Amino acid sequence: MNTAEGFVNLFYERVAADPARVFARHQGAAITFGDLDRASAQLAAVIRRNGVGRGERVAVMMRNSPLSLAFIYAIARAGNVWVPVNVALKRAGLEYMLGHSDPALIVADEEFAGQIAECPAARDVPLLLYGEHGLPAGDAVFDEPMPAPSDTAAIMYTSGTTGPAKGVIVTHQMLRLAAEGVAMCSAPRPGDDYFMWEPFFHIGGAQTLLMPLVRDVTLSLAQRFSASRFWQDVCETGSTHIHHLGGVIQILLKQPPSPLDRAHNVRVAWGGGCATEVWRAFEERFGINIHECYGMTEASSLTTYNDTGRLGSVGKPMPWFDVRLLDDDNKEVREGQAEIVVTTSLPGAIFPGYFRNPEATAKALRPEGFRTGDLGSWDSDGNLYFHGRKSDSVRCRGENVSSWEVEHVAGQHPDVEDSAMIGVATDIGEQDIKLFVQLKPGAKVDPQNLSNWLGERLAPFQLPRYIAFIDGFERTPSQRIMKHTLSSAQDDCWDRLAAKSAV
């Protein structure tokens, strides 16, 4: 394993060695390495014919399909920069991404033509629209030099759960390392199959698209995540591995019990964000081992992985990373929580910066390492535990209150399906806590009773002042709650202090 390399060379090697080997399956149809080679060469030639020079950016707004898979490989082998676009974006969000990334070409499914047409930033950019999603025909030859490992492969915009997205510059080497990290975390065997529900435009999807290059595995491509059809689809594909992000574990657990719960071939669910309180319940119900990991796109996606099954832990660092917990004075912390800071022994494993954002780059890339902005803690055996975003906290009554901690306590209430905490303005200084609660179907909970229940489990400074009941949360494609869309108003919810004064 040469982790200092890129991945296009690996692709060419696999094609030459066995072009008939299956790379992926889509709706039961096989896509071989030879198929992907021919299709990506054809599309690389299309990119050049549209006047896109080497190193220029190509925005792709497509659902998961054989065609979008081929376009991603075409962009990579052509030495262009892939700008994955969330297909749910419209108007201001889409305008921001296209305007900021400034692509030389936009490639999209026909269904998104209207959304793109509304964006002034797209008006003078060549646009290729596709109504069919199969691989293109033809045998074009594309033999330009391979990109270097340090060349930019993609600009991947973060989910933007708390504010405007930042464009992470991702190199060819970083994507190769991301796939190697997935392999270490998920422990595949020859012949295994990875069920790919995650969108290609998310790092969770992008890194998995390289798995057939680094291990003897295949992919089963799904267009999107569907909780109601998930196990049926997984049973039909015979997949051995699934990916969990955000609230996926909880969402699957909330589905009605079914004979399909144990009719699948899945051995491993790998990913991040499995809440401790549902970890064992998921393993026992579905007969699957959870392999938890931690990471960020900025550090080749996976930084640590848990291959021991230690409950709640994200494990230990990848061989090429070192993790320390530092306080605001850069002093190392061994007990308690502090910011996760990552360094590497492998040049290029950490991103070179944010695209056209020197201020954010300078804040993240420091002499002491990559400051993730995440909070972690160690146990006595050197296992890392993740405690949420450092910035996703509220300063209340002189204390920093972690959203992660409050939300995890709320999630233990028998009638609560999901929750999200934000800070809202107070009349005098600091902030008050507002908790948004989505109840389980059919459940009815009095806010005073819920507040009393929380008060038995939270410190006084952690107890929400405001509680708002909502039908559901707006989420990113990785199923993370988009907190910046939640109302900070104080007159649309129950107020603990007002209720107390009215007694």
What is the span of the domain harbouring residue 19? 8-378
367 and 403 assigned to the same domain: no
95 and 189 assigned to the same domain: yes
| Ranges assigned E (strand) in 143-273 | 152-157, 167-171, 192-196, 217-221, 241-244, 268-271
- Any domain includes 405: yes
Contact 185, 208 (CB under 8 A): no
- Any domain includes 488: yes
Which residues contact residue 444 at a Cβ distance below 8 angstroms, ignoring those fewer than 6 apart?
415
Query: Can you give the pLDDT at residue 91?
Result: 83
What CATH number is attached to the domain comprising 287?
3.40.50.12780
85 and 162 assigned to the same domain: yes
Name the 3-class secondary structure at 139: coil
What CATH number is attached to the domain comprising 442?
3.30.300.30
Query: Can you give the pLDDT at residue 163?
Result: 52
Residue ranges of the chain with per-residue pLDDT less than 70:
1-2, 159-164, 246, 397-398, 400, 427-429, 478, 503
CA atoms of 118 and 95, how far apart (whole Å):
8
- Any domain includes 175: yes
Q: How many helices (H) and strands (E) does the chain have?
A: 15, 26
Query: Can you give the pLDDT at residue 161?
Result: 47
Amino acid at 82: W
Query: Can you give the pLDDT at residue 393?
Result: 76
398 and 371 assigned to the same domain: no
- Any domain includes 227: yes
Query: Can you give the pLDDT at residue 136?
Result: 95
93 and 16 assigned to the same domain: yes
Domain total of the chain: 2
